[in-house]
Amino acid sequence: MNHPALWRRLLAEFIGTALLVTAVVGSGIMAVTLSPDDIGLQLLENSVATALALGALILMFGPVSGAHFNPVVSAADWFLGRRAGTGLTAREFGGYAVAQTVGAVVGSVLANLMFDLAAVDLSGRQRAAGHLWLGEVVATTGLVLLVFALARSGRAAAAPAAVGAYIGAAYWFTSSTSFANPAVTVGRAFTDTFAGIAPGSVPAFVVAQLVGSAVGIGLVVALYPEADRAAGDVVVPVVEGSTDR
Tell me the pLDDT of the chain averaged across its residues. 93
pLDDT tens digits for range 157-175: 899 999 999 999 999 999 9
Could you tell me if 50 and 27 are in contact, meaning their C-beta atoms sit under 8 angstroms apart?
yes
Q: Which fold has domain 6-233?
A: Glycerol uptake facilitator protein (1.20.1080)
Q: Which parts of the chain register pLDDT below 50? A: 242-243, 245
Residue range 64-93, pLDDT digits in tens: 999 999 999 999 999 988 777 778 999 999
pLDDT at 230: 66
Query: What angle separates helix 202-223 from helix 71-81, to the nearest 10 degrees?
Result: 40
Q: Report the pLDDT value the prediction gives residue 245, as an integer from 0 to 100.
A: 46
CA distance 217 to 227: 10
The angle that helices 39-65 and 159-173 make with each other, rounded to 10 degrees, is: 150
